[in-house]
Amino acid sequence: MGSFNILSIAGTDPSGGAGIQADLKAFSALGGYGTTVVTALVAQTTTGVAAVHPVPPEFVTRQLTTLLDDVRIDAVKIGMLADTGVIEAVGAALDAYRLRNVVLDPVMVAKSGDRLLAAEAIEALRTVLLPRADLVTPNLPEAADLLGEDEAADLEEMEEQARRLLKLGPARVLLKGGHLSGGDSTDLLVEPDAAAVPFTAERVPTRNTHGTGCTLSSAIAALLPQRAGVAEAVRDAKSYLTEALRRADELEVGRGMGPVHHFHAWW
């Protein structure tokens, strides 16, 4: 089996728990070679976001074209995009280079409550990137934002919202149920003309959950070229994240919500 090159298009996290830093760790832990295109410089840590400095769209384009003219990319994880211009730059590159295995994590608000996507850019996310995604991985607040609705309150409403998201164009939706109550956390994988596939894992009792969304989507992207199908990649990525959460308290990073342990299998 050859090597696989995975691209993260996302913002930074100096504390290393989210953004491109988390993506690179997950890619590496799961056997992928990580590459990156930076969309925003973010001053953040485990306690919150202090400032966001978006990268100009033309420089995002320059990063993408320079990389893609040289390196074969087997899967793409798209995270924080900051504004409409950056979204359009990424959409153009997806088309021009016919990139595949595109996983879109629609990052809008950090766990600290800080907004990471300009409110006026949500429509661009809907119309430009959702139709180009092989898999979109929103949590319940993000799905509600994309649909202009209230958050789903149970698994039945989750499936209904996921199917409405499908109508916006992505090939598949993985709607994450971590915001629901209960001892387990269930995510639903939904695609057209097929029954929803649930992925249930124990809810790990830790406050150190910084970067869980980034980590899950990047883990899926790393595994897509290595697994027989999307369901298998999601299953194994969720198992990886659950163990990373279970081992998160072994790390001592920051005073707030610390990161998950990406390299739990090694140290």
C-beta atoms surrounding 207 within 10 Å? 11
Catalytic residue among 34, 91, 177, 213: 213
Annotate 48-75 with b (16+ C-beta within 10 A) or e (fewer): ebeebebbebeebbebbbebbeeeebbb
Active site residue 209: yes
Task: Return the axis-axis angle of helices 212-223 and 19-29, rounded to nearest 10°.
Answer: 40
Instruction: Write out the two tokens for 178.
Output: 């971590």
Q: What is the CA radius of gyration of the chain?
A: 17
Residue type, 185: S
CA distances from 116 to 48, 53, 60, 121, 220 (A): 11, 10, 17, 10, 22
Is the Cβ–Cβ distance between 250 and 260 less than 8 Å?
no
Residue that the structure tokens 């390299």 belong to: 263
Catalytic residue among 176, 177, 215, 238: 176
DSSP 8-state symbol, 128: I
Question: Is-catalytic flag, 254?
Answer: no
Q: Is 206 a catalytic residue?
A: no
Q: Determine whether 48 is an active site residue.
A: no
Catalytic residue among 79, 214, 215, 238: 214
**214 catalytic residue (yes or no):** yes
Among 35, 211, 215, 238, which one carries the catalytic annotation?
Answer: 211
The token pair that represents 17 in the structure block: 């728990």
How many C-beta atoms lie closer than 10 Å to residue 94's C-beta? 20
Considering the candidates 91, 212, 215, 238, report the single residue annotated as catalytic. Answer: 212
Give yes or no: 127 in active site: no
The CA angle 129-131-137, to the nearest 5 degrees, is 70
Provide the annotated active-site residues. Answer: 176, 209, 211-214
